[in-house]
């Protein structure tokens, strides 16, 4: 029974990992950029939510009306005026710049907020649970999972059913041609980053409601999101959900063996997938 | 021997002599600082070969520094080896580990390779933290008799470790210079300047990348073993520190000049200058380094040495070639 319970928790945790992964996957899909500071921006979102809650007294979930636009604006600005100038045939500059951003964010948060563990108190939903036969699951993980599914469905619609999505796909396929056709690719990149940052903001608040965080919580979130992307398959948003679930279940089962095995089990599954299915479970991108 | 080669050999020899005599003229704290600078110089030269020349953007080199530290401690404590005998073992163990990682990680493209190396480092750290016999999460110290086997007095011990670190710094720099001037080095430079063109003239990219990754990892591990010979104690947190062994090294190379041997020297100087002047302000120096690195990448690309080279035409370790008639 402990295993059934662990698997259930792992699946629900996978929803959160899929949220970490979706933002990464989106910008990689549009502009082949990997944001090394992705996890640190998730944590930055959590801190912005914390400050918003403390100053306005809003409920953490309502603080999203402040956090999402702020983060989206930040994402747009960073892409438009910093990252766009680093995109080109050479892969190193964007990695190095986002790596620099990661270190700047971590240490700035450390100076502002110290290493204290923080958490967002979200009220009764924290402890409320739902009985499913012999096991019970928390409402918070269930809602997180549902939010992840809804967001991924929304991103899929955006990508494949809207004019903006067409611009994204055109830029992804061949940004030179897209530019020749009148697409302002610099603006498209920046919009994609703004969307990625909106997902980051939501992921940050959900993370902060679920577990403690500190200024150095970011890198692990980047790694989990990245593992979900690779396990699920590059370029597939539903794949990232599958990847997140596989990773969440692996970690939950690993934790049953020993505390150290929790994260190691996730890493091992990641390496296993690289060994036997390097393109991931549901690849879409060539 | 050509004129330039002679000058470089002379320069490196003079530098080595000045450094080697430092115990005669420098205080204890200074000696420690110079030793630390030499270890960072070695790490920076190695990472520069990897990222700057072979285009392999690893953010997981702390895996190999830590591996070297643990080989030192396990070799001396559990196997009774003299400390220096663990260095070749560290070289081989890290080389094999890197070869295994390469088989998997080389399947990841570009930036995803970078995060993959990070996952590898995290995994290695978790493995070492999980073995109680190796100290688990708390770590393990070198026992007193092993420490004494380095040298009898504390003063002499510090000198020996200092000389080892100097040998490492100057040795790595000289080896990298020799490598870049050799035939495989020519291939590395071609790879740095234009991978597509390099392939078209017959450079086997995957082979050269594999060997660069493996050799750099093996040498990084030797540097790690000597670093922990000075610290006399390993723990998963210190041995596999992202901040100390990867972040600092990347900033050094990027600010100094990626893809230029001189970059590691200039970057090490800038890093220690900033760290020591801002030491009263906690982690503020890391924020400054991060901002400087971002500006350097966005505006210059080739770091401080790149600017020097372009505007003044200087070259400390000339690796360029002239066409002969």
Tokens for B193? 């300047």
Q: CA triplet A36, A24, A39: central angle to 5 degrees?
A: 45
A102: nearest CA partner in chain B: B290
Question: What pLDDT score was predicted for residue A285?
Answer: 56
Claim: this prediction has a pTM higher than 0.90 = yes
Question: What pLDDT score was predicted for residue B30?
Answer: 92
Please indicate if any CB of chain B lies within 8 Å of the CB of A132: no
Q: Which of A28, A219, A264 sits opposite B123 (nearest CB)?
A: A264
**Neighbour tally for B14: CB within 10 Å:** 10
pLDDT (tens, 9 = 90+) of chain A, 286 residues, equals 788 989 999 999 999 999 999 999 999 988 889 999 999 999 999 999 999 999 999 999 999 999 999 999 999 999 999 999 998 888 889 999 999 999 999 999 999 999 999 999 988 888 888 888 778 889 999 999 999 999 999 999 999 999 999 999 999 888 888 888 888 999 999 999 999 999 999 999 999 999 999 999 999 999 999 999 999 988 788 999 999 999 999 999 999 998 889 999 999 999 999 999 988 888 875 4
A226: nearest CA partner in chain B: B115
pLDDT digits (tens, 9 = 90+) for B110-119: 788 999 999 9
A255 to chain B, minimum CA–CA distance in Å?
A: 13
pLDDT digits (tens, 9 = 90+) for B131-187: 888 888 889 999 888 888 888 888 899 999 999 999 999 999 999 999 998 888 888
Question: What pLDDT score was predicted for residue B177?
Answer: 92
Q: Do B119 and A223 touch (CB under 8 A)?
A: yes
Q: Which of B55, B286, B298 sits opposite A103 (nearest CB)?
A: B286
CB contacts of B107 in chain A (<8 Å) are 274, 278
What is the ipTM, given to two decimal places? Answer: 0.91
Within 13 A of B34's CA, how many CA atoms are on the CB side? 24
Q: Do A271 and B123 touch (CB under 8 A)?
A: yes
Best of A20, A96, A275 to disrupt the B interface (most B CBs within 10 Å) is A96
pLDDT greater than 80 at residue B300: no
Question: What pLDDT score was predicted for residue B201?
Answer: 84
pLDDT digits (tens, 9 = 90+) for B200-232: 888 888 899 999 999 999 999 999 999 999 999
CB contacts of A104 in chain B (<8 Å) are 286-287, 290-291, 294
A19 to chain B, minimum CA–CA distance in Å?
A: 18
Question: What pLDDT score was predicted for residue A286?
Answer: 47
Please indicate if any CB of chain B lies within 8 Å of the CB of A230: yes
Q: Do A107 and B290 touch (CB under 8 A)?
A: yes
CB B5 within 8 A of CB B177: no
From the number of C-beta atoms within 10 Å of its C-beta (0-12, 13-18, 19+), residue A47 rates as buried
Please indicate if any CB of chain B lies within 8 Å of the CB of A34: yes
CB A75 within 8 A of CB A192: no
Segments in chain B forming alpha helices (H): 3-20, 22-25, 28-47, 62-77, 86-105, 110-129, 144-150, 154-181, 183-193, 195-200, 205-231, 236-239, 242, 248-256, 261-277, 284-299, 303-312
Q: Do A274 and B108 touch (CB under 8 A)?
A: yes
Q: Do A226 and B290 touch (CB under 8 A)?
A: no
CB contacts of B118 in chain A (<8 Å) are 219, 223
Please indicate if any CB of chain B lies within 8 Å of the CB of A161: no
pLDDT greater than 70 at residue B283: yes
Q: Which of B57, B122, B129 sits opposite A267 (nearest CB)?
A: B122
Cα(B185)–Cα(B164) distance, integer angstroms = 26
Question: What pLDDT score was predicted for residue B254?
Answer: 95
Best of B108, B288, B298 to disrupt the A interface (most A CBs within 10 Å) is B298
Domain boundaries, chain A: 13-218
Best of B101, B112, B297 to disrupt the A interface (most A CBs within 10 Å) is B297
Q: Do A36 and B114 touch (CB under 8 A)?
A: yes
Domain boundaries, chain B: 3-240
CA distances from B70 to A137, B43, B94, B167, B244 (A): 42, 17, 11, 21, 16
Cα(A169)–Cα(B13) distance, integer angstroms = 57
Contact residues for A271 (Cβ-Cβ < 8 A; gap 6+): B104, B119, B123
Q: Which of B123, B282, B293 sits opposite A96 (nearest CB)?
A: B293
Q: Do B250 and A110 touch (CB under 8 A)?
A: no
CB contacts of B258 in chain A (<8 Å) are 92
Average pLDDT rounded to a whole number, residues B247-268:
94
pLDDT higher at A239 or B317: A239
B321 to chain A, minimum CA–CA distance in Å?
A: 24
Average of per-residue pLDDT values in chain B: 91
């Amino acid at each position: 029974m402990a295993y059934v319970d662990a698997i259930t928790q792992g699946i629900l945790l996978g929803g959160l990992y899929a949220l970490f992964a979706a933002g990464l996957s989106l910008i990689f899909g549009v502009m082949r950029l990997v944001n090394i500071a992705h996890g640190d921006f998730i944590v930055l979102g959590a801190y912005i939510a914390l400050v918003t809650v403390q100053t306005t007294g809003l409920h953490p979930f309502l603080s999203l009306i402040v956090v999402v636009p702020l983060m989206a604006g930040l994402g747009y600005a960073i892409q438009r005026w910093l990252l766009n100038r680093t995109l080109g045939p050479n892969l190193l500059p964007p990695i190095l710049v986002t790596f620099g951003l990661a270190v700047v964010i971590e240490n700035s948060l450390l100076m502002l907020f110290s290493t204290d563990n923080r958490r967002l108190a979200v009220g009764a939903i924290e402890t409320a649970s739902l009985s499913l036969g012999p096991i019970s699951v928390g409402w918070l993980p269930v809602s997180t999972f549902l939010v992840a599914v809804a967001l991924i469905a929304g991103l899929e619609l955006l990508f494949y059913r809207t004019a903006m999505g067409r611009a994204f796909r055109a830029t992804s396929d061949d940004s030179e041609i897209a530019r020749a056709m009148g697409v302002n690719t610099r603006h498209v990149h920046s919009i994609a980053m703004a969307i990625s940052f909106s997902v980051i903001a939501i992921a940050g608040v959900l993370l902060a409601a679920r577990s403690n965080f500190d200024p150095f919580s970011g890198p692990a979130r980047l790694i989990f999101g990245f593992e979900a992307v690779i396990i699920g398959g590059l370029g597939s948003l539903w794949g990232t959900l599958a990847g997140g679930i596989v990773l969440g279940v692996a970690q939950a089962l690993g934790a049953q063996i020993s505390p150290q095995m929790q994260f190691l089990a996730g890493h091992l599954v990641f390496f296993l997938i690289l060994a036997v299915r390097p393109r991931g479970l549901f690849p879409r991108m060539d | 021997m050509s004129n330039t080669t002679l000058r470089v050999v002379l320069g490196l020899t003079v530098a080595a002599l000045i450094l080697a005599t430092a115990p005669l003229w420098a205080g204890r704290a200074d000696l420690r600082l110079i030793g630390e600078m030499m270890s960072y110089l070695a790490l920076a030269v190695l990472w520069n070969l990897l990222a700057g020349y072979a285009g392999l953007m690893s953010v997981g080199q702390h895996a190999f520094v830590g591996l070297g530290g643990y080989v030192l401690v396990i070799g001396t404590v559990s196997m009774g080896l003299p400390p220096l005998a663990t260095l070749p073992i560290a070289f081989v163990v890290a080389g094999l580990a890197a070869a295994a990682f390469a088989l998997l990680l080389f399947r990841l493209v570009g930036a995803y390779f970078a995060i993959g190396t990070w996952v590898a480092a995290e995994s290695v750290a978790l493995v070492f933290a999980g073995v109680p016999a190796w100290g688990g999460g708390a770590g393990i110290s070198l026992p007193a008799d092993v420490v004494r086997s380095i040298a009898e007095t504390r003063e002499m011990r510090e000198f020996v470790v200092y000389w080892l670190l100097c040998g490492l710094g100057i040795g790595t720099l000289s080896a990298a210079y020799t490598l870049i001037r050799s035939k495989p080095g020519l291939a590395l430079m071609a790879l740095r300047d234009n991978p597509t063109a390099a392939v078209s003239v017959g450079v086997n990219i995957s082979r050269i990348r594999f060997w660069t990754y493996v050799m750099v990892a093996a040498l990084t591990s030797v540097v790690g073993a000597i670093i922990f010979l000075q610290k006399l104690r390993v723990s998963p947190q210190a041995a596999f520190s992202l901040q100390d062994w990867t972040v600092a090294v990347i900033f050094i190379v990027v600010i100094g000049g990626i893809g230029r041997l001189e970059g590691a020297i200039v970057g090490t100087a800038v890093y220690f200058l900033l760290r020591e002047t801002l030491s009263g302000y906690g982690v503020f120096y890391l924020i400054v380094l991060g901002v400087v690195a971002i500006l350097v990448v966005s505006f210059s690309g080739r770091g401080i040495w790149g600017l020097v080279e372009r505007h003044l035409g200087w070259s400390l370790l000339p690796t360029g070639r002239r066409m002969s008639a």
